[in-house]
């Protein structure tokens, strides 16, 4: 379940071509369990109709401070008091300047000014031409809005409606949704540096063949996302997977186990928590051919010999910081059977305080999972759920352990 479920958000639209993205944002919010009250400026109605936003939100849209539907004719008071947050998307350069100076000549700006500051956060998603965004006046306004306690989201980069390319685009709906989820997530990992390894490794036999496994990386990416949403600074070392980088996460791509070890060791020095979700190949070919190994029709198969790959989790867990507890290490065990026995043995063998077990064949490539948390006192099951939901539970569990 999304952290936004049950929230009531006022979605404000100011004038700008990016208003077309607000329709998708409204739909995504409703899907996440949010009740959405749309408020539009006169300029916004030049780009998006109130009828569209009403259909998507399922609620009447407000466009005027003189709306007679409010018995006391105070929509700017009533609507702001009901909200868990006011989100202005798009927020034009003009509207942000109006917010800065306390302008209040229409319903949306009136409502932003009249909101209880300590109870109703104001979040704005800027949208404008690249020159307008980079103009010193806009940048001064953004800096002051942040100083005033208004949460200003990043801008996107790319093609703009005017035909130019650069910074200033409004974020996509799914990006804003993720930022809003992060905003409302308790910051139980605030100030922590978290290192996550995810996905499979690939060990080359020749330039076109190799040894790998079925790990999709979805669990590790979900954990990285959950840690970032909980306030941590997150570094993600990813094997060869086809997944987008979670917002706000620093990602480093690797292929082999040795590359993953080097990257993990490099970043472990600055980490407070190391979560080893990657399904690292236990062995690699002793020699990788420079050219494709060809069959010659004789029926003879090539002879391959293998060497053991380095143990990334044990290497870091048994380093001075890992052994002392300065670096809290969490291992993962993907087993095919006897999960509790294998996970318990692996925790002791690796020397980690927490080992997370799952049944690999049942979860590789899937969007859901079930986890078994094994520590010195026993085992606890996290029942079957989406990988993102499990990631949130795991991060919450780790946060509690860090305070003991």
Q: CB of 75 within 8 A of CB of 67?
A: yes
Q: Where are the alpha helices (DSSP H) in 252-296?
A: 257-268
The token duo for 195 is 């290192």
What are the phi and psi torsion angles at 337 (to 5°)? -165, 170
Catalytic residue among 26, 112, 162, 329: 162
CA distance 157 to 252: 21
b/e map 202-236, b = 16+ CB within 10 Å: bbbbbeeebbbbebbbbbbbbbbbbbbbbbbbbbb
Is 26 among the catalytic positions? no
Contacts of 210 (CB under 8 A, 6+ apart): 202, 203, 204
For 331-335, the CB contacts below 8 A with 24+ separation are 331/276, 331/355, 331/356, 332/219, 332/275, 332/276, 332/277, 332/278, 332/279, 332/356, 332/357, 332/358, 333/357, 333/358, 334/215, 334/279, 334/358, 334/359, 334/360, 334/363, 334/364, 335/359, 335/360
CA quadruple 213, 218, 221, 226: dihedral sign: negative
Per-residue b/e over 345-380, b at no fewer than 16 CB within 10 Å?
A: ebbeebebbbbbbbbbeebbeeeebbbbbbbeeeee
Q: Which residue has the tokens 């380093």?
A: 319
Catalytic residues: 162
């Amino acid at each position: 379940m999304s952290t936004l479920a049950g929230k009531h958000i006022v979605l404000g639209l100011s004038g700008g071509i990016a208003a077309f993205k607000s329709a998708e944002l409204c739909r995504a919010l409703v899907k996440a369990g949010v009740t959405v009250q749309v408020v539009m400026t006169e300029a916004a109605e030049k780009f998006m109709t109130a009828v569209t936003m009403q259909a998507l939100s399922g609620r009447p849209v407000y466009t005027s401070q003189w709306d007679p539907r409010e018995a006391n004719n105070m929509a700017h008071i009533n609507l702001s008091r009901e909200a868990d947050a006011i989100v202005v998307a798009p927020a034009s350069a003009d509207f942000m300047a109006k917010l800065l100076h306390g302008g209040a000549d229409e319903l949306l700006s009136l409502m932003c000014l009249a909101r209880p500051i300590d109870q109703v956060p104001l979040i704005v998603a800027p949208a404008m031409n690249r020159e307008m965004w980079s103009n010193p006046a806009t940048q001064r306004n953004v800096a002051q809005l942040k100083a005033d306690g208004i949460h200003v989201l990043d801008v996107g980069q790319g093609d703009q409606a005017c035909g130019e390319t650069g910074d200033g685009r409004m974020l996509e709906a799914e990006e804003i949704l993720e930022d809003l989820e992060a905003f409302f997530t308790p910051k139980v990992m605030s100030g922590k540096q978290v290192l996550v390894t995810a996905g499979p490794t690939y060990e080359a036999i020749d330039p076109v063949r190799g040894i790998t496994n079925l790990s999709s990386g979805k669990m590790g990416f979900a954990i990285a996302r959950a840690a970032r949403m909980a306030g941590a600074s997150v570094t993600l070392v990813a094997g060869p997977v086809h997944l987008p980088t979670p917002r706000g996460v620093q990602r480093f791509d690797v292929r082999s186990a040795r590359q993953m070890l080097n990257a993990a060791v490099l970043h472990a020095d600055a980490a407070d928590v190391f979560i080893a979700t990657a399904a690292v190949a236990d062995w690699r070919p002793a020699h990788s051919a420079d050219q494709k190994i060809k069959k010659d029709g004789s029926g003879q198969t090539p002879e391959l010999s293998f060497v053991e790959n380095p143990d990334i989790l044990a290497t870091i867990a048994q380093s001075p910081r890992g052994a002392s507890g300065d670096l809290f290490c969490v291992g993962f065990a993907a087993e095919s059977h006897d999960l509790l026995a294998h996970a318990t043995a692996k925790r002791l063998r690796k020397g980690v305080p927490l080992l997370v077990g799952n049944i690999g064949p049942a979860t590789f490539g899937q969007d859901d999972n079930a986890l078994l948390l094994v520590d010195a006192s026993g085992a606890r099951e996290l029942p079957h759920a989406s990988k993102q939901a499990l990631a949130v539970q795991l991060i919450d569990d780790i946060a509690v352990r860090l305070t003991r």
